[in-house]
Structure 1
Amino acid sequence: MKPFQKAVLWGLISAVVIAPLLAAASSPLLAWRDPVYIASGFAGILAMALLVLQPLLAGGLLPGVSLAKSRAVHRWAGTLLVLMVVLHVGGLWVTSPPDVVDALLFRSPTPFSAWGVIAMWCIFAAGLVAVLRRRLRWRPKTWQKIHSTLALGVVIGGAAHAFLIEGTMEPVTKAVLCVAAVVVTLKAIRDLRIWSGRAIANPNTRTGSVR
């Protein structure tokens, strides 16, 4: 891949990830929110941004980054993703415990709450499967299918959750972020042939790096 192409791709990825954060930071609704609620909201936005980066890292699809480095960062980013979700839910609990309880029990009248809870449990399950990978002693193909299925549940649930909320996130940048997360996740799963007969390390190069 030529330097100009790398620069363009990195620019697009950066715009998709950063623009929603900047747009939310300039929202007039922040003036009416308390600090804990604001921090909780931005933890959720950061989690959505990570959902765009995670499949790119898992598939070694970031321009100029080797597969080995991508996978290493993917593991750390997964830990950060779990932390962001905990902070997001924890902040909401501090500001309004009854709403969180209703959401967890699927009693909330707002549809986005159910999608958020589904995404949360999928994130925790995917993280647990990753931590226990060696102890579970599953075949690599089986582990990949389960982990990727949970990851897809996270992305779809998280995207639906964010898309349905009318809050500090700007509509256009939010929609682009949600669609991007779903598209890159499906691309990574397809390119790595996780749900086909045989998985491959990287569809772009034998050495595991994107050039």
Structure 2
Amino acid sequence: MRATLIWTALAAAIIAPVAAAAFSPQLQWRDGIYIASGFAGVVGMALLLVQPLLAAGDLPLSQSDARRVHRVTGTLLLGAVLLHVAGLWITSPPDVVDALTFTSPTPFSVWGVIAMWGVFATALLAAWRRRLPLRPMTWRRVHLVLGLVIAAGTVTHALLIEGTMEVVTKWLLAGFVLVATLRVVWRAGRFRDFARRSG
């Protein structure tokens, strides 16, 4: 019963903002590439809720399964970001150039680019993890910091945009993402304190 409730709550938290965005009046007169790009961004933000829950062991999965799903979800998140940026590039290359060079007049672009580079950095570190001279604790700390940057950047990016996402479900999802991410950061800090005291 507990597992069913957890999966149901997670599904509702993810599906609600995506479904609400599907009925957005701002989708009228938009072409398919723009719509697909926007939904890739929505899906990417929804995936950000899953990642800290998996990392914290909050989902009813074994540790090995949670790690495997965490890697798969990370790959899907990377794909969603690439689709989001590629779609925006196709529909408006100058806006993307301004965003990437941090010269865009819209503040939300800056936060989106920061989150994007965080995702790229995390993907590269994960791909090269075995070849890098990083201790496990150092890897966890870097991964945690990047995760916090991605979550904060994405949430700020989304909240500053008056776009496809419906307001209430957007704010709820943003809150869930931040709470889940900060909870992992807090747990990691408590674990380090405990380890120092025990040592």
Q: TM-score, normalised by structure 2?
A: 0.93
Partner residue in 2 for 1:187: 183
1:19 is the counterpart of 2:19: no
Match of 1:151 in 2: 147
Name the SS for the 2:50 alignment partner: helix
Post-superposition offset of 1:17: 0.8
- Cα RMSD after superposing both structures: 1.5
**Equivalence for 1:207:** none
CA distance in 1, matches of 2:126, 2:5: 32
- Aligned counterparts of 2:192 and 2:136: Cα–Cα separation in 1: 13
1:52 is aligned to 2:58: no
Distance 2:5 2:156 in 1: 28
**How much has 1:187 moved relative to structure 2?**
1.2
Q: For 1:94, what is the secondary structure of its paired residue? A: helix
Is there any run of 5+ residues in structure 2 with no aligned partner, and where?
A: none
The aligned runs of 1:79-118 (5 Å cut-off) are: 79-118=75-114
Over the matched positions of the two proteins, sequence identity in percent amounts to 54
Cα distance, 1:194–1:34 mapped onto 2, change above 3 Å: farther
Using CA pairs below 8 Å that are at least 6 residues apart, which structure has the higher relative contact order? Answer: 1
User: Cα 1:195–1:84, aligned 2, differ >3 Å: closer, same or farther?
Assistant: farther
CA shift at 1:192, angstroms?
4.1
**2:58 aligned partner:** 61
Q: Deviations over 1:153-200 (max 9, x none)?
A: 00000000011110110000000111111110111233344872567x
Question: 2:36 maps to which residue?
Answer: 39
Unaligned runs of 5+ in 1: 200-211
Compute the displacement of 1:10 (Å): 2.2
Number of the residue aligned with 1:8 = 5
Q: What secondary structure, in the 3-state scheme, does the structure 2 residue paired with 1:32 have? A: coil
Cα distance per residue 1:114-161 (max 9 Å; x no partner): 000000001100111111111112110001000110111000000000
C-alpha separation in 1, matches of 2:58 and 2:186: 12
Could you give the per-residue CA deviations for residues 26-67 of structure 1, whole angstroms, max 9, x where no partner exists?
1111112110000000000010000000111122211x2111
Contact kept in structure 2, 1:82 and 1:124, CA below 8 Å: yes
Which residue of structure 2 aligns with residue 135 of structure 1? 131
Task: Indicate conservation of the 8 Å contact 1:47/1:81, yes or no.
Answer: yes
- Looking at secondary structure, tell me which structure has more helix per residue: 2
CA offset at residue 83 of structure 1? 0.8
